[in-house]
Amino acid sequence: MEIQALLIMFREVLEALLIIGIITTYMKRMGQCQYNKFVWLGAGLAVVASVGVAMLFQVVFTGFAAMGSEIYLKISIMLISAVLLTQMVFWMASHSRNLKGKTEGKMTEYITTGNVIGMVIHSFLVVLREGVETVFFFAAITGGDIGKGFQGWGAITGILIASAVSYFFFKGTMRIPLKSFFKITGIFIVLIAGGLFVQGISMMQDIKLIGSVMPHVYDLTWFLPEHPIDYAHYVRDHGVAPLLSGDIGIFFKALFGYSSMPSIEEIIAYVGYFAVIYLLVNHQKEPVKAEVKESNNKAVFKATNEMKESAIK
């Protein structure tokens, strides 16, 4: 869980800090530093609002638990979080190239019109989006106990690393190609999302919400049990220990959705999820290739015209 918390918190905090950093750096470059306080005001209000969302979620979760329906909420959170994590990766992949230009363009509009309310609202929404996503993701990886996600080293480490990367990035001492950076971190986020999706399927089968044609396709408990309890049971039943520890299994289960005895539906869901990701990635590349081809054609056409004009002269 700590690795999940680190990656999620690092990604969410970094996205928010990058956008806020782009805004404040632009304000400084334009000699409009007096507006920075409104940007930070919006960001601060968003952090408070995110805490409020987390508290509200815990109240709702407690209510579901009291009614004995918390398992349904957990399943919903896992599936929704898998979708949100996937959407977050693709959104940033498609916007990272133009993020700086679009943000600066919006700030220019606010400065020109003196719209300080717009500045506050813009920074508020940027940070609030990351905050609400974090609430959902932490609820998914902790089984609904969001506070538990902040008790270990993962979340605070993610915040510290994101803060350090942002600081050195805007100081100019660290050169980071944002598109490549988000592509690498996006791979790990997608793996986490796939794991959450499969765990949601598994939980639905546990409560008989959906059935299974083949409950256990294979059994890898002898090699890597998915929990220390499974490790102990295997030793008790067979008199020998599995090759790897259950602590390693629980780590892979938390991070990638590993199961030592998956059903056929879990395998289909896992493979199907990454097949869809593959198709979406290829679909995103096609417009970029077309754009590059069109740009190259224009450059060739321009060069040809210039050569003709030179020959005529």
- Whether residue 39 contacts residue 123, with contact meaning beta carbons closer than 8 Å, is answered with yes
- Whether residue 90 contacts residue 284, with contact meaning beta carbons closer than 8 Å, is answered with yes
Give the mean model confidence (pLDDT) for residues 235-248.
89
List Cβ neighbours of 191 (8 Å cut-off, separation of 6 or more). 255, 256
- Strands (DSSP E) contained in the chain are none
Residue 297: band (very low, low, confident or very high) from pLDDT cuts 50, 70, 90:
low
Residue 30 CA to chain centroid, in angstroms? 32
Domain-by-domain residue ranges, the chain?
2-207
Whole-number pLDDT of residue 292: 45
- Whether residue 24 contacts residue 39, with contact meaning beta carbons closer than 8 Å, is answered with yes
135 or 173, which is more confident: 135
- pLDDT > 90? residue 48: yes
DSSP state of 67: T
Give the mean model confidence (pLDDT) for residues 123-134.
88
**Cα distance between residue 23 and residue 190, in whole Å:** 28
Q: Which amino acid is at 178?
A: L
Whole-number pLDDT of residue 285: 63
218 or 254, which is more confident: 218
- Buried b / exposed e across 240-261, counting CB within 10 Å, b at 16+? eebeeebebbbbbbbbbbbbbe
User: 45-59, 152-166, 196-210, 280-294: which has the minimum mean pLDDT?
Assistant: 280-294
* pTM of the predicted protein model: 0.70
Residue 38 CA to chain centroid, in angstroms? 27
Residue 300: band (very low, low, confident or very high) from pLDDT cuts 50, 70, 90:
very low
pLDDT tens digits, 260-290: 999 999 999 999 999 988 888 887 665 545 4
Residue 25: band (very low, low, confident or very high) from pLDDT cuts 50, 70, 90:
confident
The secondary element (H helix, E strand) that includes residue 199 is: helix 178-206
- pLDDT > 90? residue 8: no
Whole-number pLDDT of residue 186: 80
**Cα distance between residue 265 and residue 300, in whole Å:** 52
- pLDDT > 80? residue 50: yes
- pLDDT > 60? residue 306: no
List Cβ neighbours of 88 (8 Å cut-off, separation of 6 or more). 11, 133, 189
- pLDDT > 60? residue 139: yes
